[in-house]
A and B are shown apart, each in its own frame.
Chain A
Amino acid sequence: MNEALPDDFDVIIIGTGLPAAVVSGALSRVDKKVLHLDRNDYYGGSWSSFNIKSVETFLQNPYDSAEYLNKDGEETSNIEVSEDEEFVPILQNKNFITKAEYSCYLKRRSVKMVIGRINLLPFIRFSEKNEEPAQSSSPCVDTCQSDVVEQSCASKPDDSLKSGETPISEEVQKREESPKVENCNDPATQGDGDSVEKEKELTQELDKAKTKEKVDVSEVVKPRFPLSEDFYKQWRHYNLDLSPKRVPCSRADVFSSKFVSVVEKRILMRLFTLCANYKDHEQEYQNFREKTFIEFLASRRLSLKAQHFVLYSIAMVSETTSTLDGLAATHKFLHSLGRYGNSAFLWPSYGVGEIPQAFCRFSAVFGGTFCLRRYAVGFIKDKTTGRCTAIVDNTGQKIRCGTLILDDLNLPHGANTTSTSSVDRAIYVIDSTVSKSDAEQIIQVSLVTIPPMCDNPAVRLIEAGPLCCVCPKNNYVVHGICFTNYCTKKNCEKQHETNIKPEVGGEDSQSRKPVILWSCHFTMTDTNTDNSTLPPNVITLQGPRMDLGFDRAMNEAREVFLRICPGEDFLPRAPDPEEIVFD
């Protein structure tokens, strides 16, 4: 893996996150000479999927795995630079994952779920085979070992992604939020000897969380917050019962839903019809341009209940979102429906991590050079032109480039970086579903939005069942995602201290509550790099956020591509094999 690479490329890309992979594919497609490096031994960067074992390893130590030599500039003294050149080190972004912890409440050997993949994005997958995420470890110039993923991505890479709301599933059923969540302290349900131990461990873990200085993410996702008194009051006020309801979002859903009255069905359908073509009917929302989306919804005679599920579960926006943004979000949702079945979502069977990898493979098919476990320790800047001329990789090789692209895990030294937002994440493996309701249908993936309550920010839950191949039979994987910033965090903290009452068991005591088998919590922080201090031909890319879709990543990739190749086609259709002339 240390063999020398060619030393001149049009573009060098460091890191294989989604936007980086897409840019790579797009550039190779128009015959740019691309070198693509990643310090990890897997593709995807912050978009990767892991199995449960490697996610534990990863969370224990997210950064050391590939840290060979790069001890902040130590190496750099060896780098030869001429007088009119300057060496700028590239550092690993260590802010990306913080406050990571995980717990397993089962005897390890007794569970089979030690296998499979966990995405860093909210989509994870277990499988029966022991799949390691490792990729070929030598610099690989993939030839045409096309498989299904490549086929589908290669022929229409952007279409399947950009359009969409997104990731996801044969059948992601959207659900109205629900305050119901797993109750971990339910020993009665666990017949085996593990239960006592488990309970103890869990309480310990909870106590630990309480004593921490900052409120842990988990507090937001854990069951207690929705069960506070206030919460009940509020929900009674909304006249909603406490089990998650399937949100009617398509015409067929609206027709068969028992969740809304016939009159509401009409009102909803009118709203959907308007949103589907809202740009042609400006007069309908003329007076609401300056107002919020929720005010607009209220003006459409929607009941409070319906307003909330349109806001949180269909548009997936907040109460402060403007009418136009809300309409655009609803429009996007509605236009994602029906492309692949009766849902706006797709669930990738092999995890979201497959997607950047597929674009990398696409890039390789069109001539891109790929190399894992190799990265840039820094780049060389020409003092007179102010441009980046080459990179120095971790073997010490100098490779010239016209443009350098860095993904969110690689930060040029000295650049101004700001943490724009952070997302608190929790992943649970539980032993029964949190979203059982209309029992006849087997729900494979549920998306539950818990609206902001009692000063807590909105929480989105994604539950995937065994049919998604993410966990063994009868188990479910739940992702909790929550945007945090310092302001709401403080509120959370206060809430935590004053308002959280002991578990309210009454409401739900007949039905069995899910027991947590495994859990992890971590915070993902997005870093924005200020490009203005960088040479004009060094471009930095953003990381994933709370987004369920890939729109932002795709748009960013398109912009970067057009910056490098103005006027070229972004990912034109790849030719079919029979259209290609072989010499």
Chain B
Amino acid sequence: MHGRLKVKTTAVQAEEKRIKRQKKLKLFQGALAAAFKKIHSKEYDAEGLYITQEILAANSDYYTIWNYRKNAFLHYKNTKTSEELLKCFQDELSFLQNCLKNNPKSYSCWNQRCFVLLTMSEPDWKKELQLCDLFLQFDDRNFHCWDYRRFVVQHSAVLPGEEIQFTHKLIENNFSNYSSWHYRSKLLPIECPDASDKNRIGEKMLLEELELVQNAFFTDPNDQSAWFYHRWLLGRGETKQSLLSLHVSLLDNKLTCTLRKPASIKDCSCLNVYMNDIPHAVVWNGCNQQKYQHIWQCDLPKEDLSSGANKIKVEFRSSELMVEMTGEDEAISCIETNTETFRQSSSDAKLSVLTEELKSCQELNDLEPGNKWVMLTLVLLMRAIDPTHHSSQVHDTLHELCTVDGMRQCYYQDLLSKFVIEDHIAAVDLHQRCINLHGKALTRVCRFEFFSTITSLNLSHNQLHSLNSPLKLLHCLQKLDVSENQIVEISGLKDLTKLVLLNLDSNRMSSLKTLEPVTTCTALQKISVKLNPIPSEDIDSLLQILPNVEIVYES
């Protein structure tokens, strides 16, 4: 019909496109050849800049080409007048802006921009900040631009208050933006620091921020950025370094100190030993090659110990422990543990603040049952407020989380194991040197540093899968019962030189190889491996390797 539009077929269009692309490719390759000629001959001129500009306009990630331009500008710096140079830099900045428009996540472009601003004589930082505003408007999570913004802010002395305002604007626009929240967490401690800790924020500000973030997670409790920020606000309290236990053995004349946090040999200069109140110079040794360790040992002169010097005191900063030798081969001293021992590691915010947060989270949980972020935050808050009081609720919530958020089931189980162990440590007198964690549904064991003076540890009937964390911290351990677990490997038992009795019954040890670590336990007398899928020939080999050890197995 007359006037009817005829539309090209897709084949015709594809062919046209192909020809166009081919032409473009040929041009690009030609330009590239010319550019590399310039690069090799170190020829820095306007033509070179023009060619490279064309190439970069097509592909702004080509850093070799950007480097040529950098060299060219450095060359110009010595050869051109300042006006000419300024013009060059300004052109480069507007060219870069165009490149960034096409490719806002190009490392090379942002990098080149930093270079230009640092190289030019009077950079206009204000304009750069506006550029950041613009690009963050397009994509508020472009971390390249956030990086560049921090660079600009750093060089132009923008007040933190203004930047806080800016993040506020972005958050109002879209609070699923962790970049903004994170930037806030960097700025707020500068703007309104806490009087006692310069990495934290003052209480008034803290309350305002809590309200803001509360608005966010009430609006959308599934948004993780708000929860992460919330967690930062409540802060993980810093564990204070202190002495945990002291162990003196007359058998090998060694003094062993266990510290709450791993320390370096340098920190050991604060460990002062007194014998009958007389300072005693010692040399500290770690028990492995690592720089930071929980346990440090030193030799004690045998003659002093036998000649009535029976009070040994160790001072470490504000903490001190003392043992009195009363004719025994060994003596220990441990700190008193209670619920406060671990509470602080969840949060160091004020109790009133935490209680308030717990209240609003519970409210949200009522409105939105089964939200994993709310539940997890509840657990952490309850741990931070009063672990014993909320103990059963914490257990229930974590069990619920395992079903609600099955993908992270193991994480919650591990978390629960940690809480169980912490609660156990808090309730027990460590001087008894015996820990019984039988049937606690543990999936992992942690807080080993508290167990360093323990001689007997019962972990039977749990859900442990391996013993791969170094049990060497348990340097007194003689009796270990890990029966009725699902253990497949025991590499953590390596070099437990005091271990006498090991019960591995009802586990999943499957070969001689996995049992190998026990060969390094030199004091071992008895090992029980009943109900493990170990082939009988492997048992035979084990019998040969450990001729002096009683091996219990089903035949």
Contacts and interface: CB of A to CB of B under 8 A. Distances in A.
A487 interface: no
B336 interface: no
A295 interface: no
Contacts of B340: none
Contacts of B6: 580-581, 583
A546 B6 CA distance: 41
A367 B2 CA distance: 9
Contacts of A256: 172, 215
A583 B4 CA distance: 11
B360 interface: yes
A356 B370 CA distance: 51
Contact of B8 (A31, A267, A581): A581
Interface in B1-39: 1, 3-8, 13
What DSSP secondary structure best describes chain A's contact surface?
helix
B7 A266 contact: no
Interface string B191-218: 0000000000000000000000011101
B287 to A, nearest CB: 52
Contacts of B4: 31
A575 B5 contact: yes
Given A31-B4, A581-B7, A255 B216 contact: yes
B8 A254 contact: no
B220 interface: yes
Interface string B217-230: 01111000000000
A263 B7 contact: no
Question: Most chain-B Cβ atoms within 10 A of its Cβ — which of A366, A579, A580?
Answer: A579
A575 B9 CA distance: 11
A202 B74 CA distance: 75
Interface in A247-267: 251-252, 254-256, 262-263, 265-267
B424 to A, nearest CB: 38
Interface in A8-34: 31
Contacts of B174: 251-252
A266 B364 contact: yes
A581 to B, nearest CB: 4
A262 B5 contact: no
Given A575-B7, A579-B13, A262 B220 contact: no
Interface string A553-583: 0000000000000000000000100011101
Interface in A229-283: 251-252, 254-256, 262-263, 265-267, 269-270
Contact of A269 (B5, B175, B219, B360): B219
Contact of B220 (A251, A366, A575, A580): A251
A579 B7 contact: yes
A445 B102 CA distance: 33
A255 B367 contact: no
B172 A269 contact: no
Interface string B516-534: 0000000000000000000
Interface string A344-388: 000000000000000000000011000000000000000000000
Contacts of A575: 5, 7
Contacts of B221: 266
Interface string A101-134: 0000000000000000000000000000000000
Contacts of A251: 174, 219-220
Contact of A366 (B5, B219, B368): B5
B363 interface: yes
Contacts of A266: 218-219, 221, 364, 367-368
Q: B interface, how many residues as a size bin?
A: 20 to 34
A266 B216 CA distance: 10
A252 B5 contact: no
A263 B219 contact: no
A583 B7 CA distance: 11
Contacts of B360: 262
Contacts of A583: 6
A262 B8 CA distance: 57
A31 to B, nearest CB: 6
A263 B364 CA distance: 7
Given A252-B174, A367-B3, A580 B8 contact: yes
B173 interface: yes
B219 A265 contact: yes
B494 to A, nearest CB: 52
A265 B215 contact: yes
Contact of B218 (A31, A252, A262, A581): A262
A267 to B, nearest CB: 7
Nearest to A257: B215
Contact of A263 (B13, B216, B220, B367): B367
A555 to B, nearest CB: 27
Contacts of A580: 5-8
Contacts of A270: 367-368
Contacts of B1: 31
B165 to A, nearest CB: 12
Interface string B345-365: 000000000000000100110
B14 to A, nearest CB: 12
Contacts of A366: 5
B46 to A, nearest CB: 35
Given A252-B173, A581-B7, A265 B13 contact: no
Contacts of B219: 251, 254-255, 265-266, 269
A293 B1 CA distance: 53
Nearest to A28: B3
B364 A255 contact: no
Contacts of B173: 252
Contacts of B5: 366, 575, 580
A262 B7 contact: no
Interface in B345-397: 360, 363-364, 367-368
Nearest to B1: A31
A265 B226 CA distance: 15
A254 B218 CA distance: 10
Question: Most chain-A Cβ atoms within 10 A of its Cβ — which of B3, B5, B13, B220?
Answer: B5
A262 B368 CA distance: 13
Question: Most chain-B Cβ atoms within 10 A of its Cβ — which of A251, A252, A255?
Answer: A255
Interface string B424-461: 00000000000000000000000000000000000000
A255 B215 contact: yes
A267 B367 contact: yes
Given A31-B1, A265-B215, A575-B7, A252 B13 contact: no
B536 to A, nearest CB: 59
A579 B220 CA distance: 46
A488 to B, nearest CB: 38
Contacts of A367: 3
Nearest to B367: A266
Contacts of A579: 7-8, 13
Given A252-B173, A266-B221, 19 more contacts: A251-B174, A251-B220, A252-B172, A252-B175, A254-B219, A255-B172, A255-B175, A255-B216, A256-B172, A262-B360, A265-B218, A265-B219, A266-B219, A266-B364, A266-B367, A367-B3, A579-B13, A581-B6, A583-B6
16 contacts: A31-B3, A252-B172, A252-B174, A254-B219, A256-B215, A263-B218, A265-B215, A266-B219, A266-B221, A266-B367, A266-B368, A267-B367, A269-B220, A367-B3, A579-B7, A580-B8
Interface of A: 31, 251-252, 254-256, 262-263, 265-267, 269-270, 366-367, 575, 579-581, 583
Interface of B: 1, 3-8, 13, 172-175, 214-216, 218-221, 360, 363-364, 367-368
- Kindly list the 7 A-B residue pairs having the minimum CB-CB distance in the complex, ordered from nearest: A262-B218, A581-B6, A255-B219, A256-B172, A265-B218, A367-B3, A266-B218
